[in-house]
Amino acid sequence: MAVIELKNIEYTYSSGTTALRNISLSIEKGQRVALMGSNGSGKSSLCLLLAGVIKPDQGEYLVYGKAFRYCRKHRVELCKRIGYVFQDPDVQVVSSHVQEDVAFGLRNIGISEGEVEKRVDHYLELAGIGDLKSKAVHTLSYGQKKQVALAGVLAMEPEVIMLDEPFAWLDYRQSQRLLKILGQLSDSGKTVIVSTHDTQFASEWAGRALIMQEGSLRVNGSANEVFANPELLEEMNVAPVINPCSVYT
């Protein structure tokens, strides 16, 4: 059974701009998925839909074979199963201190305080920011805020993790730690979806490639095949793979 399935999804913003056109998609457990496309192609809209943030105008969104109904009960259940790390941490980090922010989602779904403390400590260390636990969020760099947002999502221990441009604002060490985390997530059977413009990373990390164009899912296939086709990438306005050496795996 698919972890996520979309059937004929359509979504139009209040401005009248069509963001998603007839999207049908099935994602299996444990897949490494790279979501690509030029700016305005619909990548972020698709991520927001998968995270339950926006509701389609038509079509069906299924999680483990069950239709998602957009009620509070289903949204809480979705938060336990699907985690989303936004590109901009300022729209995700909501508390004034690091420890409180990582604990925020856990407390919202009724996790016991002892378990909250345990997870906060564990995932701050995993993200490499255990020393920032008592820091005020406003004192952090953008890269550090992204690590806080990541720790908060991982602390929920979702089965599916989506990340929108996860390497933006990260320095070399932060990026290397994130790569290690992505590998650990995959090794543990998690499904990982990364929206990115980084073709080099996508070609070496992903098993499956999705490419959006003008709100439509135009490419859905094996990453090896997709990234070995420079003509297709050119047509989709996606940068070609330049360096064949593996630096991301």
Pick from 74, 41, 40, 45: nearest CA to 57: 45
How many other β-carbons are positioned within 10 Å of the β-carbon of residue 136? 11
Q: Is 178 a member of any domain?
A: yes
Predicted model pTM: 0.94
Q: Is 241 a member of any domain?
A: no
Identify the domain containing residue 152 by its residue range.
Answer: 31-59+72-235
Q: Say how many domains are in the chain.
A: 1
Mention every residue, 6+ apart, whose C-beta is less than 8 A from residue 71: none
Q: Is 245 a member of any domain?
A: no
Residue spans of beta strands (DSSP E) within the chain: 4-12, 18-27, 32-36, 58-63, 66-67, 82-85, 160-164, 191-195, 208-213, 216-222
Is 90 exceeded by the pLDDT of residue 245?
no
What's the CATH code of the domain at 108? 3.40.50.300
Both tokens of 71, joined, read 């009620």
Over range 141-151, report the average pLDDT: 97
Starting from the edge strand earliest in sequence, which strands make up the sheet with 82-85, in order? Answer: 82-85, 160-164, 191-195, 32-36, 208-213, 216-222
- Would you state the pLDDT for residue 47? 94
Q: Rounded to an integer, what distance in angstroms lies between the CA atom of residue 23 and that of residue 216?
A: 6
pLDDT tens per residue across span 186-225? 999 999 999 999 999 999 999 999 999 999 999 999 999 9
Is 80 exceeded by the pLDDT of residue 63?
yes
Q: Is 114 a member of any domain?
A: yes
